[in-house]
Structure 1
């Protein structure tokens, strides 16, 4: 089952649109511009992102900080951790 969930999450990251990212940003209190949303989704589509291990998440968050700012990247990390725990998926992320 965990492979299936990991595949779903990875696929969703690759298919995320700028519009969806802006919507989620509003929903979770992130301020993103259209250009930042476009840059983030382009990064996710063009780079192999592994959110399931600590090293992969660190790389992803460093890139997010470059595109936006450090504060937004830290906020994203906290939200990510909160969502993982709330859905009971912490066992998939090491």
Structure 2
């Protein structure tokens, strides 16, 4: 079950669009420009990092900080952790 959920998360990240990402940024009040969203989507589609793996997630957050800024990357990490807890998936981290 754990590997199935990981695969679903990875697939979802590969298919996210810049517009969806901007919608999420508005929903969670994380400032994000269209240019930044495009760069993030391009990165997500080109990488095979697993966001449920601590080391991979830190690599992704460092890249996100380069694309946006460190504060935005920290906010995204908090949101990711909140969503994981909200869905009772802490055991996957």
Classify the TM-score, shorter chain: over 0.9
Which residue is equivalent to 1:25?
25
Q: How does 1:1-94 map to 2 (within 5 A)?
A: 1-93=1-93
Q: Superposition RMSD on alpha carbons, in Å? A: 0.7
Q: Within 2, Cα distance between the matches of 1:91 and 1:31?
A: 29
Stretch of structure 1 that moved more, 63-72 or 2-11:
2-11
Provide structure 1 residue ranges, at least 5 long, that are not aligned to the other structure: none
Q: Encode CA deviations 1:58-86: one digit per residue, 9 max, x unaligned.
A: 00000000000000000011111111111
Hey, which bits of structure 1, 4+ residues long, moved more than 2 A? none
- How does the TM-score come out when normalised to structure 1? 0.95
- How does the TM-score come out when normalised to structure 2? 0.96
